[in-house]
A and B are shown apart, each in its own frame.
Chain A
Amino acid sequence: MNPSRSASHRVLAILVGCVALGTVTLPARALAPGQSLPISNVSGKDAAALPLVDGKARVTYIDFWASWCGPCRQSFPWMNRMQDKFGAKGLRIVAVNLDAKRADAQDFLAQLPARFELGFDSGGAAARQFGVKTMPSSVLVGPDGKVIAVHNGFREEDEAELEQRIAAALARP
């Protein structure tokens, strides 16, 4: 083969390689109801593994939050109320913090203490696996570890609907 053709082949190979590279990284897909959880643990407060589904709770409410997220300030008192109200019936709330700095999360928690379990995912690895698209996001998980519902954002108007979903999930046999 003469040199000019092999050079053109090389350029073509580079072109194809670059286009392939452009398509390789795809954004994570949000979870759909009925799917199982993409990961089973997150880091707990003392860096020990915290299981997302502990096998004892009937319904798990996993919430992704951060200290800089305004709606999260509204969601914490609501989550405390839910934990108090439905905890005995089998609700377990796990709020996974996505702050890059633990100190920011601790400042937030000093103002809004949590009566539910806390996970920490500063690198965002768990959030990426869950396909988190908004802050905050929450996932309601049934006893079988399968997703019941996903909710994006948090507004006062959503509180009643979310509470209904939790109550309905707990009422299922």
Chain B
Amino acid sequence: MQRSTTSRGILLGALAACAALTGCAAWQAPQAWEKGALARPDMVMGGDALSQRFEQHIYSSKENASGGYGVGGGGCGCN
């Protein structure tokens, strides 16, 4: 099939860009000892305790959902 040189160039460039993106697989999640910044109190997802209680009450009464907040997942990775 005949392709003009510019469209071939664009195709090859696109393929090369896609291939280069596979290098993103080399990125790793932070190691356990690198999570010091996540352990700070200001890094907790919820607000203060009272607003957290309000939100959890809303989740449980409207959606019958619970959990998924608190210490787990942040900081130590000890769970």
Query: Footprint of B on A, CB under 8 Å?
Result: 4, 7-8, 11, 14-15, 17-19, 21-25, 27, 64, 66-71, 98-100, 104, 124, 127-128, 132-137, 152-154
Contact A24 B26 (CB under 8 A): yes
Residues of chain B with a CB closer than 8 A to A100's CB: 36
A residues within 8 A CB of B50? none
CB contact under 8 A between A69 and B78, given known A23-B25, A135-B35: yes
Q: Considering only CB atoms and an 8 Å cut-off, how many residues of chain B contact the other chain?
A: 27
Nearest residue in B to A24 (C-beta to C-beta)?
B26
CB distance from A151 to the nearest CB of B (A): 11
| Chain B, range 17-43, C-beta contacts under 8 Å to A | 19-26, 28, 31-36, 39-40
Contact B77 A68 (CB under 8 A): no
| A-chain residues with CB within 8 Å of residue B16 when the two chains form the complex | 11, 14-15
Knowing that A11-B16, A133-B77, A136-B78 are A-B contacts, what are 16 other residue pairs whose CB atoms are under 8 Å apart, sorted by A's residue number? A14-B16, A14-B19, A15-B19, A21-B22, A22-B23, A66-B33, A69-B76, A70-B39, A71-B78, A98-B33, A124-B34, A127-B31, A128-B31, A132-B33, A133-B32, A135-B75
Assembly CA distance A71 to B28 (angstroms): 25
Chain A residues contacting B76 (CB-CB under 8 Å) are: 69-71, 134-136, 153
CB distance from B34 to the nearest CB of A (A): 7
Do the beta carbons of A69 and B23 come within 8 Å of each other?
Answer: no
State whether A70 touches B23 (Cβ < 8 A): no
Whether B12 sits at the interface, judged by CB under 8 Å, is yes
The distance in angstroms between the C-alpha atoms of A136 and B31, with both chains bound, is 12
Give the docked Cα–Cα distance between A22 and B79 (Å).
28
